[in-house]
């Protein structure tokens, strides 16, 4: 599939292109939460893993 998009603002175009990183972070967060429910991971470990996923995604989405 080929999709063509036009943006008036370069920053918005970059964010749209890098949005896959944000989606990947949501998928990782979902997996951490599912694992927590299934295996009863410690709360601190769960929060730490979620925070790491969010931080990694933000670094990729907001690259300069």
Provide the Cα torsion 43, 48, 31, 56; round to 10°: 170
Q: What is the pLDDT of residue 12?
A: 83
Average pLDDT in the 17-27 region? 82
26 — pLDDT class (breaks 50, 70, 90):
confident
Q: What percent of the chain has pLDDT over 90?
A: 2
Could you tell me the two tokens for 56? 């990694």
Give whole-number Cα distances, 48 to 4, 54, 63, in Å. 38, 10, 23
pLDDT at 19 over 70: yes
CB 31 within 8 A of CB 14: no
pTM of the model: 0.62
Average pLDDT in the 26-44 region? 88
């Amino acid at each position: 599939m080929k999709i063509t998009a036009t943006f008036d603002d370069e920053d918005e175009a970059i964010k749209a292109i890098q949005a896959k990183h944000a989606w990947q972070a949501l998928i990782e967060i979902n997996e951490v939460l599912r694992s927590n429910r299934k295996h009863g991971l410690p709360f601190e470990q769960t929060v730490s893993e979620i925070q790491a996923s969010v931080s990694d995604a933000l670094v990729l989405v907001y690259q300069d």
